[in-house]
C-alpha cells in the first residue's frame, strides 16, 4: 500500500531534480549541495521511483536510510560518480560539514524519474515534494545520450554491446517506436511537453521549477536562477557564483551531431517544442 513516507530518524527529501538526463542535472545537484542549509543524501540518484511498482514498497526503508540523520552528525558523505581522465566512469565521494542549530533540508537527483517515473506514485510517497526539471535543446540532448551509450559500449557493458554506432539509423528507428507509444532511450525523453503535463496534472505547475540548461552557461544569469530556486525551495538566498564556474560530469567533446540526423530531429521535435513554449508561455529559442 502506498502511503506518505515518515521517519523519526532521517530527514526526508524536500526536493527532487527529476530530469532530464544529459541536461546538466549533476552540476545543478552539486551547486545546490553548496547551499548552507542543504545536505546531500548518501547517493545522488537513488532511482526509487523508476522501479517496478511492486518493488518500491520493498525498497522504501533503504531509500529513507540514504538521507541524513535527523540527529546532529559532524559530516555528511555522499557517493559521487564522475569521469576519469580517459572518460571512463569511476565512483568517488564528497563530504559536507554539518553544523549545529541549522534547519537543514535534503533532496536527491534521480534524473530518469521525469521520463520513466509515475507522478502519482511519487506524490503518494512524498506529497510535499518540490520538483526541479532541467530542459536542454532536445536535439543536443539526444546526441549526448547516444554518445553516453557509445562510451558504455566501449566499456563492454553487457546491455549496450549490440547497440548501433549509426546515430541516424538509431533515431529513425526510435522515432517510429516513440510514435507507436513505446518508451525509447534516445528520442522519447526529448518530447518534454507530453511528460511535463503528466507531472503538472499531479503536482501542479507551482511545484515544478523549470530551468533551461543553456541559461546556466552565463554565470550572472545562472546565479539569479539559483536564487529563484532558493525562493522556490523556501531557503535563504545564497551566492553561488564561485561554484557556478565549475561543471560536473561533463562528457568528452566529440565531433558535432551529423547534419542529416540533426535535420531529422529538429523537424521531429519542432511541434513538441512549440507546444511546450505555448504551454509554459515561455520561449526556449532552441531552433
Q: Give the cell for residue 267.
A: 523537424
Q: Given the C-alpha cell 534516445, which residue does it identify?
A: 186
Tens of pLDDT, residue by residue over 142-178, are: 999 999 888 887 777 767 666 788 999 999 999 999 9
- State how far the Cα of 119 lies from the Cα of 204, in Å rounded to an integer: 11
Domain ranges of the chain: 13-280
pLDDT for res 251: 64
pLDDT digits (tens, 9 = 90+) for 176-198: 999 999 999 999 999 999 999 99
pLDDT at 35: 97
Q: What is the pLDDT of residue 152?
A: 81
User: What is the reported pLDDT for 247?
Assistant: 82
Q: How far is the C-alpha of 142 from the C-alpha of 186, rounded, in Å? A: 5
The alpha carbon of 30 is separated from its chain's Cα centroid by a whole number of angstroms, namely 12
pLDDT for residue 250 is more than 90: no
Query: How does residue 43 score in pLDDT terms, banded at 50, 70 and 90?
Result: very high
pLDDT average, residue stretch 201-229 = 97
Task: Name the CATH topology of 13-280.
Answer: Rossmann fold (3.40.50)
Average pLDDT, the chain: 92
Residue 74: pLDDT band with limits 50, 70, 90: confident
Residue 238, pLDDT score: 96
Of 171-180, 197-206, 247-256, where does mean pLDDT reach its minimum? 247-256
Eight-class DSSP state of 214: G
**273, burial (CB in 10 Å: exposed 0-12, middle 13-18, buried 19+):** buried
The candidate with the shortest Cα–Cα distance to 23, out of 197, 249, 275, is 249
pLDDT of residue 80: 75
pLDDT digits (tens, 9 = 90+) for 50-66: 999 999 999 999 999 99
State residue 254's pLDDT score. Answer: 61
pLDDT category of residue 86 using cuts at 50, 70 and 90? low
Q: What is the pLDDT of residues 89-110, one digit of tens each?
A: 677 888 899 998 899 999 999 9
User: How far is residue 243's CA from residue 38's CA, in Å, rounded to a whole number?
Assistant: 15
pLDDT digits (tens, 9 = 90+) for 5-42: 999 999 999 999 999 999 999 999 999 999 999 999 99
Q: Say what the pLDDT of residue 159 is.
A: 72
How much is the CA Rg of the chain, to the nearest whole Å? 19
Q: What is the pLDDT of residue 134?
A: 98
Cis upstream peptide for 20 (omega within 30°) = yes
Q: What's the pLDDT at 130?
A: 98
Count of Cβ atoms closer than 10 Å to residue 10 Cβ = 19
252: left (phi over 0), alpha (psi -120 to 50) or beta: beta
Name the more confident of 45 and 159: 45
Place of cell 511546450: 276
Amino acid at each position: 500500500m502506498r502511503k506518505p513516507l515518515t521517519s523519526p530518524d532521517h530527514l526526508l527529501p524536500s526536493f527532487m531534480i527529476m530530469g532530464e538526463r544529459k541536461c546538466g542535472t549533476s552540476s545543478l545537484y552539486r551547486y545546490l549541495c553548496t547551499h548552507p542549509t542543504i545536505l546531500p543524501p548518501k547517493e545522488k540518484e537513488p532511482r526509487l521511483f523508476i522501479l517496478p511498482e511492486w518493488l518500491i514498497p520493498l525498497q522504501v526503508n533503504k531509500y529513507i536510510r540514504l538521507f541524513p540523520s535527523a540527529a546532529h552528525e559532524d559530516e555528511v558523505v555522499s557517493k559521487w560518480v564522475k569521469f576519469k581522465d580517459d572518460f571512463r566512469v569511476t565512483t568517488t565521494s564528497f563530504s559536507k560539514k554539518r553544523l549545529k542549530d541549522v534547519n537543514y533540508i535534503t533532496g536527491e537527483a534521480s534524473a530518469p524519474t521525469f521520463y520513466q517515473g509515475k507522478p502519482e506514485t511519487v506524490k503518494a510517497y512524498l506529497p510535499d515534494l518540490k520538483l526541479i526539471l532541467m530542459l536542454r535543446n532536445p536535439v543536443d540532448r539526444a546526441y549526448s545520450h547516444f554518445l553516453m551509450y557509445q562510451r558504455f559500449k566501449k566499456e563492454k557493458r553487457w546491455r549496450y554491446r549490440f547497440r548501433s554506432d549509426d546515430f541516424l539509423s538509431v533515431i529513425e528507428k526510435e522515432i517510429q517506436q516513440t510514435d507507436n507509444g513505446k518508451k525509447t532511450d534516445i528520442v522519447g525523453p526529448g518530447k518534454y511537453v507530453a511528460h511535463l503535463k503528466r507531472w503538472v496534472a499531479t503536482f501542479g505547475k507551482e511545484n515544478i521549477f523549470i530551468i533551461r540548461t543553456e541559461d546556466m552557461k552565463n554565470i550572472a544569469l545562472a546565479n539569479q536562477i539559483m536564487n529563484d530556486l532558493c525562493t522556490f525551495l523556501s531557503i535563504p538566498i545564497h551566492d553561488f557564483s564561485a561554484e557556478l564556474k565549475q561543471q560536473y560530469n561533463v562528457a568528452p567533446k566529440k565531433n558535432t551531431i551529423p547534419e542529416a540526423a540533426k535535420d531529422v530531429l529538429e523537424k521531429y521535435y519542432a511541434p513538441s517544442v512549440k507546444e511546450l513554449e505555448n504551454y509554459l508561455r515561455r520561449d526556449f529559442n532552441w531552433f
